[in-house]
Structure 1
Amino acid sequence: MINYTLKQLKYFVAVAESGNVTEASEKLYISQPAISNAISQLEETLNTQLLIRHHAKGVSLTPAGKEMVSYCRTLLSHAEEINGYMIQHSTLISGTINIGCYASLGPIYAPKLIQGFTKLYPEVNFKLFEGDIEELNEALVTGKIEMALMYDLNNNCQIESTKLAKISPHVLLSVKHPLANRKKINLMALQDEPLVLLDLPHSNKYFQSLFEQYDKNPFIKHRTKSIEMLRSLVANGEGYALMNAHVKSNTCFDGSELISIPLSDYATPISLVISKVLGVKLPKRCEAFLEFCIKNFNLDNK
């Protein structure tokens, strides 16, 4: 077991090179008693005398001390190399970012963000984890992921978030629906229509809460955790759906078509955020990715 310190080795080498404690003290800006005590502790730990103290004439090295000083210089040099490497590594944007994505957001935003960031920093790669908000919270707290792209529907006191954008809900309808040509739609125009609900934790409650201003409960015909299943059900006339994230294409996997129409009702926008564990300092690569996301969404919102 190693019980000596780099500080003790540094003081010993300084005294060995200076030939006396006084000069070493001046060079290191350390008091003479502190240096003397450190070297005495080193000798005690090694059970070996390293210096011969000459009263008022400085010190000289014992045979063991002469051999030891060479090893100490090598060890201190390696320690400096390690320190330099860690300083360089802490500023280099490289390595793996473990990121989580809310299931309904990941396909819409994550690929573009990842592709744009890796163009700037080719030494970075990503490891993706998809889940609902509860699964992302657990992955953050347990260290499985470092950050997560999600909606700000979180009440976990261990998680803190940075807002990227505000997204208002909209209605999805089949292109064949009688209301498909409207520029905006009021929820009451759909009160007798079947709802296809995105049945993910927190999201399902959020969408159902939109009806509370009318003291109504929606008629839920289908529940699904899959965005594409939801879109296909809507496009095939199985009902309407509510979403926040905007999918660019109106064509579903089976070739059927749907349309997205803004709500005319008052609805509090939901925030898109990057979340991490409260108080945890992110690696440089993650901090850089967070800044990239903020700038990317600022540009999109201009």
Structure 2
Amino acid sequence: MYNEHKVSQNLSGVKMDITQLKYLAAIVENNFNISQAARQLYISQPALSKAITMLEKEANLQIFERLKGRLIELTTDGQLIFEHAKLIINHHDELMSLLEMRSRMGEGDVLLGIPPLVITALFSDFLSLVREKNPKMNVTVIENGGKSLEEMVTSGKLDFCVMVSPESFRNSKFIEIPLHKSEYAIFVAENHPLIDKQRISWNDLNNEDIALCDESFKTYHLFVDYIQSQNIEPHSLLTAYSWDYLFASIRKSNKITFLPDASQNIFNMNGVKMLRFENPMPWNISFVYRKKSNYTTAEKYLIDFVKSYFKK
């Protein structure tokens, strides 16, 4: 059992800095191999040995058990110090990361492309929060269909792009950060003939009237390419830019619209029902930007903020 009172008495007046604690942790984590720990810490073995000896001398405690001059394990006091050292190191590293992130906050402009439905489903809180945290950075959001945004980021007209189903875009010149995974579904009026199905098959769309977003959206191309590959033939295909219009068009008709399942949390579902596919098409969202050797402070900040926000 640890004698914390004894340790605290012995450590009275002793100053341990973070470097000494990291030396101690590195030795333990490398199975008491001084040479290996020294390489990890980028210092010489004699310097590390001297630092540990000085730490024990200053603390007036034996931290390591030794056998023929070699470190073999921690003493009881050493184990107690090590447990506290791990916590202190973690808190220190978190603080340094926070300070580094804050220090990189600088004035700057970035252009961010986001499809309309995605901005409502995933980015409404994000955009207000990033502006609150870093008022010196100006994020200009370009709201357009996913297909159009892909072309813009590829041609360099956008700094960043939020993409739908990026697997069809993947390019070695770009970096992709996955943000969200979900699936597409269909939405119909509550009196539609398909309403009693638990799950629908793609073949159920044969001879149906489909309301779909226009060609500027990635969803249009994903849907059309897939039904053509499966020889599925709708009766008609109505396209529109407005997602609100598509949703409204099905409410009092037998039309079907094809949308991400997140739409049920965005649009008024009164009189409308969502039906899932037996074999659904994924609705995956990623944050995409071009690889380059140097990023502005504003670009670096936004990249870090995206990683932190969507890690939750």
Q: TM-score range by the shorter chain?
A: 0.5 to 0.7
| 8 Å Cα contact 2:121/2:266 also seen in 1 | no
Unaligned runs of 5+ residues in structure 1 are 1-86
After TM superposition, give the deviation of residue 240 of structure 1 in Å: 0.6
Partner secondary structure for residue 117 of structure 1: helix
Query: Letter of the aligned partner of 1:218 in structure 2?
Result: P
Residues 263 and 294 from structure 1, CA distance in 2 versus in 1: closer, same or farther, beyond 3 angstroms? Answer: farther
Partner secondary structure for residue 179 of structure 1: coil
Residues 95 and 242 from structure 1, CA distance in 2 versus in 1: closer, same or farther, beyond 3 angstroms? Answer: same
Q: 1:249 aligns with which of 256, 259, 266?
A: 266
Is the counterpart of residue 187 in structure 1 residue 202 in structure 2?
yes
Partner in structure 2 of residue 145 of structure 1: 158
Is the counterpart of residue 102 in structure 1 residue 115 in structure 2?
yes
What does the per-residue CA deviation read over 1:13-67, in whole Å, with 9 as the maximum and x for residues that have no partner? xxxxxxxxxxxxxxxxxxxxxxxxxxxxxxxxxxxxxxxxxxxxxxxxxxxxxxx
Over the residues paired in the alignment, what is the CA RMSD in angstroms?
3.2
1-side partners of 2:156 and 2:209: how far apart? 41
1-side partners of 2:294 and 2:243: how far apart? 33
Q: 1:262 aligns with which of 273, 276, 288?
A: 276
2-side partners of 1:92 and 1:292: how far apart? 11
| 8 Å Cα contact 1:210/1:267 also seen in 2 | no
Query: Letter of the aligned partner of 1:251 in structure 2?
Result: N
Q: 1:128 aligns with which of 141, 150, 161?
A: 141
Residues 134 and 195 from structure 1, CA distance in 2 versus in 1: closer, same or farther, beyond 3 angstroms? Answer: closer
Residues 91 and 204 from structure 1, CA distance in 2 versus in 1: closer, same or farther, beyond 3 angstroms? Answer: same
2-side partners of 1:137 and 1:215: how far apart? 27
| 8 Å Cα contact 2:147/2:215 also seen in 1 | no
Identity %: 14
| 8 Å Cα contact 2:200/2:275 also seen in 1 | yes
Is the counterpart of residue 154 in structure 1 residue 157 in structure 2?
no
Residues 291 and 186 from structure 1, CA distance in 2 versus in 1: closer, same or farther, beyond 3 angstroms? Answer: farther
| 8 Å Cα contact 1:193/1:219 also seen in 2 | yes
Residues 182 and 120 from structure 1, CA distance in 2 versus in 1: closer, same or farther, beyond 3 angstroms? Answer: farther
1-side partners of 2:183 and 2:310: how far apart? 15
1-side partners of 2:267 and 2:102: how far apart? 45
| 8 Å Cα contact 1:96/1:124 also seen in 2 | yes
2-side partners of 1:284 and 1:181: how far apart? 54
Residues 212 and 222 from structure 1, CA distance in 2 versus in 1: closer, same or farther, beyond 3 angstroms? Answer: closer
1-side partners of 2:268 and 2:118: how far apart? 18
What does the per-residue CA deviation read over 1:196-223, in whole Å, with 9 as the maximum and x for residues that have no partner? 1222344322112443574323333311
Q: 1:177 aligns with which of 189, 192, 199?
A: 192
TM-score, normalising length from structure 2? 0.56
Partner in structure 2 of residue 168 of structure 1: 183
Structure number with greater Rg is 1
| 8 Å Cα contact 2:115/2:145 also seen in 1 | yes
Instruction: Tell me the number of residue pairs that the alignment of Structure 1 and Structure 2 aligns.
Output: 209
Once structures 1 and 2 are overlaid, which stretch shifts more, 230-239 or 203-212?
203-212
Unaligned runs of 5+ residues in structure 2 are 1-99
TM-score, normalising length from structure 1? 0.58
Query: Letter of the aligned partner of 1:177 in structure 2?
Result: H
| 8 Å Cα contact 1:187/1:263 also seen in 2 | yes
2-side partners of 1:147 and 1:167: how far apart? 22
